Amino acid sequence: MLVGRRRSELEQAVATIGARASLVAHDITQLEKAGDLVRAAETAAGAPVSILVNNAGIHLKKAAAETTPQEFQAVLTTHVCAAQALTAVVLPGMMERKHGNILFTASMASLFGVPLVLAYSAAKSAYLGMVRSLASEVSGRGVRVNAIAPGWIESPMLLQALSGDVARQNKILGRTPMGCFGAAEDIGNAAVFLCSPAAKFITGVVLPVDGGASIGF
- Calculate the dihedral angle through the C-alpha atoms of 175, 107, 192, 34, rounding to the nearest 10 degrees: -170
Cα separation, 81 vs 58, whole angstroms: 13
Q: Which helix (H) or strand (E) holds 178?
A: none
Q: In this structure, what DSSP letter does residue 81 have?
A: I
Compute φ and ψ for 101, nearest 5 degrees. Answer: -135, 135
DSSP E strands, the chain: 2-4, 23-25, 51-54, 100-105, 143-150, 206-209
The answer to whether the CB of 105 falls within 8 A of the CB of 56 is: no
> CB pairs under 8 A, 24+ apart, for 82-86?
82/28, 82/29, 82/31, 82/34, 82/54, 82/56, 83/54, 83/56, 83/127, 83/130, 84/130, 85/28, 85/31, 85/34, 86/28, 86/34, 86/37, 86/38, 86/52, 86/54
Q: Which residues are marked as active site?
A: 120
